Structure 1
Amino acid sequence: MRAVQITEFGGPEVLNVVDVPEPEAGPGQQLYDVSTAGVNYADTHQIENSYLAAQQLPLVPGAEFVGTAAGGGPRVVGLLDGGGYAQKVAAHPRLTWPVPDGVTDEQALAVVLQGATAWHLLRTSAHLAAGETVVVVAGAGGVGSLAVQLARRWGAGRVIATASSPEKRALTEELGADVSIDPALADDDPKAFAAALREANGGKPVDVVLEMTGGHVFTGSLSALAPFGRLVTYGMAARQDTPSVAPGALMQRSRAVIGFWLAHCMARPHMMDDAMTELLPLVADGALTPISGGRYPLTAVREAHQDLLARRTTGKLVLDPAR
């Protein structure tokens, strides 16, 4: 079968489409034919070996797929420990969910990892309360575009999004953000970013920040929090070290810094069920709108990663293993 494999760590240049043996289903696993594979920003870290879990070579990246069980069956969307950039995958059925009629592969992939992340960021980690101000960093991205919609749906008093271009900022406002700002304000001065967040909130500090950049964005976001505010961090896109947070700095304003990684929900499948059983019907009913960022042939996987890293994309990117 065809798959994307890396034999050395690096950037998009290490991604190669090759013929490899079909995966073998392990204990409790099922073999699936893949119709569409999902691409996530975390994959760019995985191929560098710069993410949270150490990787082993050779490696087939990819953590999600839509497909059918080998030999036939209903269309499902599923999560994987790896191996998703391929024509076939071995997955645990417990981490798959039926895709409702009318929901496309791209839409299902948008919610299985990124949508579930947005769901848990707001519900499990931030414990969003009605009327609170929510800041969504990278509000036009795969997680952010869904988090903006969910925060609005669940009663946020004000939603502030950041996005790197006028077009992306306009999209976040179409999705439900009250106001959007340019995260480049944080490039040299986290204080300027914190001031911009407060200004966007009518001069007041904010209650919740969903942050996936690190560096100055993290520092500025923490500074902008109100008493009892929560900063939930779930990514390291800036590839910068984030300064340590002193206990006294948290105590001064009763602030909280919370880390989130969806892998821990995958180890507790009922937590994934909580998110998926709400998100997929919302998409089917048209109440939640995943943003498609583009369908790339498997042979164009390098281009997909390059576009992600250059911030040229919005929403969900997917790969077509048949091309």
Structure 2
Amino acid sequence: MRAIQITEFGGPEVLKISDVAEPVAGDGQVVITVDRAGINYADTHQVENSYLSKAELPMIPGGEVVGRTADGRRVVALTGSGGYAEKALIHPMRAWDVPEGVTDGQALALIVQGTTAAYMLKLSTHLQPGESVLVHAGAGGVGHLSIQLAKLWGAGRIIATASSEEKRQQTLELGADVAIDGTPEGLKDRIIEANGGKPVDIVLEMVGGPTFDESFAALAPFGRLVTFGAAGREAAKPIEATRLMKGSKTIAGFWLVDCFRDPQRFSAELTELFELTASGKLRPIVGAEYALSDAATAHQDMRDRKTVGKLLLDPTR
């Protein structure tokens, strides 16, 4: 079968199409015919082996797929790896039926990025009605869903950052009250100005480096910042405990893998997102769709911040 199999770690250039043997289901596994594979920013880290969990070669990247099982079920599933292929192995405990009214692309937008947004707002930051929320990369996969969910769940002022005027306009259409340039220089002041001259209560941060530093400096007393990525591939400055004490601020980390310890809650969160989408209250944006052979282009576009919404791979092309 056709797949993207990497034999060395690196950037997008290592993503090359290959002919590999079809997967064979072992105990507790099911083979799925992949209709679409989702692309996450974490995939770019997995390919260069800079992710939180280390990868082994040879490897087929891709942690999420939607497709059909042998008995005809349309499911969206978490694979860990192996998704960038015509067929993939899944575990029934990490596969969910896609309901009517939810497209393949929407299901892929929700299974990782939607649940990430939901967990961060509910569990990591404990969003309270009326609180201000800063969403970095507001036009991205997690960002565009975070804006909408924060709005649905009673946030006050929602501020989004984005790298272009077009993307900033999109975040406003999604429900952000104001959109600003996410460039690190002067970011703290722009955040506070966008919030009516006041620091913000909640920050969802996935850039790292100086963006993290500026965002932390813009936190209100009892504010909470959750970090869930390092897209800038640059470490933030260490924060001493006294800086947390002054202002009673909180920094939380988030990794979706930890949510799988409670599969019932994860299923409940995903089900709620499916219901919100089917009812039209939540609008996952499906962005560009790439041929499997163009996986390298997809990764480069994502790293260059050229993309919006959920990116898909079509294994039939």
- Range into which the TM-score falls when normalised by the shorter chain: over 0.9
Q: Which residue of 1 aligns with 2:289?
A: 295
Unaligned residue ranges in structure 2 (runs of 5+): none
**Counterpart residue identity of residue 201, structure 1:** N
TM superposition shift of 1:267: 3.5
Q: How does 1:215-294 map to 2 (within 5 A)?
A: 215-294=209-288
Distance 1:95 1:242 in 2: 33
**Counterpart residue identity of residue 8, structure 1:** E
Q: How does 1:140-151 map to 2 (within 5 A)?
A: 140-151=139-150
Q: Which residue of 1 aligns with 2:116?
A: 117
Q: Which residue of 2 aligns with 1:50?
A: 50
Report the 3-state secondary structure (helix = DSSP H, G, I; strand = E; otherwise coil) of the residue aligned with 1:152.
Answer: helix
Q: Which residue of 2 aligns with 1:38?
A: 38
Q: How does 1:90-105 map to 2 (within 5 A)?
A: 90-105=89-104
Matched, 1:195 2:194: no
Report the 3-state secondary structure (helix = DSSP H, G, I; strand = E; otherwise coil) of the residue aligned with 2:222.
Answer: strand
CA offsets 1:115-140 (integer angstroms, 9 cap, x no match): 01001110111110000000000000
Distance 2:244 2:26 in 1: 45
Q: Which residue of 2 aligns with 1:179?
A: 178
Q: Which residue of 1 aligns with 2:23?
A: 23
Unaligned residue ranges in structure 1 (runs of 5+): none
Distance 1:130 1:161 in 2: 18
Report the 3-state secondary structure (helix = DSSP H, G, I; strand = E; otherwise coil) of the residue aligned with 1:56.
Answer: coil
**Counterpart residue identity of residue 23, structure 2:** P
Distance 2:302 2:29 in 1: 31
CA offsets 1:33-53 (integer angstroms, 9 cap, x no match): 111100001101111111111
Matched, 1:80 2:79: yes
Q: Which residue of 2 aligns with 1:59?
A: 59
Distance 1:124 1:25 in 2: 35
Worse overlay, 131-140 or 258-267:
258-267
CA offsets 1:191-224 (integer angstroms, 9 cap, x no match): x211111111100110000000000110011111
CA offsets 1:139-186 (integer angstroms, 9 cap, x no match): 0000000000000000001100000000000000000000010011x1
Amino-acid identity (%)? 56
TM superposition shift of 1:25: 2.2
Kindly tell me the number of residue pairs found equivalent between the two proteins.
317
Report the 3-state secondary structure (helix = DSSP H, G, I; strand = E; otherwise coil) of the residue aligned with 1:194.
Answer: helix
Provide the aligned C-alpha RMSD in A.
0.9
Distance 2:288 2:99 in 1: 21
Report the 3-state secondary structure (helix = DSSP H, G, I; strand = E; otherwise coil) of the residue aligned with 2:72.
Answer: coil
Instruction: Name segments (4+ residues, structure 1) moved above 3 Å.
Output: none
TM superposition shift of 1:14: 0.2
Matched, 1:304 2:303: no
TM superposition shift of 1:241: 1.4
**Counterpart residue identity of residue 180, structure 1:** A
CA offsets 1:254-311 (integer angstroms, 9 cap, x no match): 0000000001112331232121110011111111111111111101111111110111
Q: Which residue of 2 aligns with 1:6?
A: 6
Report the 3-state secondary structure (helix = DSSP H, G, I; strand = E; otherwise coil) of the residue aligned with 1:162.
Answer: strand
TM-score, structure 1 normalization = 0.96
